[in-house]
Structure 1
Amino acid sequence: MKGERFLVKSPILGFEDVNEVDCAEVDDGALAFLSMIGKDAELLLVNPYKVREYSFEVPVGIQTLLDIKPSSNVKVFCVFIREKQTEIFINFLAPIVLNCDNNTLAQVVLDSKDYPNFGVAESIKSYIKE
């Protein structure tokens, strides 16, 4: 995905006023970073499947909102935050789901009771094998 515009169908936490974003895949290598730019703000995302075992149920409401069908080209990314130069934290409890067929996206906020193995600010160091 190179420089595509996506319509935000459900608010992104902290970016509630953003209705459209430009998405560009920065690196398709080990982590598959995605950069989302909207209203002078940038959000960096990482492909969670490149980092750890990761699965969740996309709520029916989000599936309907994004018009997701079994054959849809769907991608999932998680927000990551870089603190200092050496620390990266990933929010596995609020993935962003993209339907690449119709260029729509929405954030899914997962309940920590249903997904106790996912955290809001997990260090990427926990998943890097030395």
Structure 2
Amino acid sequence: MKSQKFMVKSPILGFEDVNEVKFAEVDDGALAFLSMDRKEVELLLVNPYKVREYSFEVSASIQTLLEIKASSNVKVFCVFVREKGDGIRVNFLAPIVLNCDNNTLAQVVLNKKDYPFFGVAESIKDYIKE
């Protein structure tokens, strides 16, 4: 699993003082990790498009901050938490947007009023068809 360094251009909630992270994708881009060396913390990420229908507007300010253009290689991941047992909860209201062309990222906090079908701690079981 190869990791790349990314500059954090807009803070990650709870880690406002982190300016650089290591990002690594696994499982054909379905899962990823963000490592924060100085914090000795690793965030678990899931590609929301592999789980459910998911779309949102990236504000002009975030697009400018990350230098996103129409041709940019952009990836989106959401933070998830594994609970005891087999429970997994995903935060669809605060996706992490990565511009892989210049290795920058930002967490985008979405307004619940604009995205009423996204939650902060949704069970992944709601999206897995057995």
CA shift at 1:15, angstroms?
1.0
CA RMSD of aligned residues (A): 1.1
Equivalent residue number for residue 22 of structure 2: 22
Shift of 1:27: 1.5
Question: For 1:120 and 1:44, how far apart are their aligned partners in 2?
Answer: 15
Stretches of 4+ aligned residues off by more than 2 angstroms: none
The within-5 A match list for 1:24-103 is 24-28=24-28, 32-38=30-36, 39=38, 40-103=40-103
Structure 1 unaligned regions, length at least 5:
none
Shift of 1:85: 2.5
2:107 alignment counterpart:
107
Structure 1 residue 28, shift from structure 2 partner: 1.2
Q: Which runs of 5+ in 2 are unaligned?
A: none
Q: Which amino acid aligns with 1:58?
A: V
% of aligned pairs identical? Answer: 77
Tell me the amino acid that sits aligned with residue 12 of structure 2. Answer: I
Total equivalences in the alignment: 128
TM-score between both structures, scaled by the size of structure 1: 0.96
- Shift in Å, 1:17: 1.2
CA distance in 1, matches of 2:2, 2:50: 19
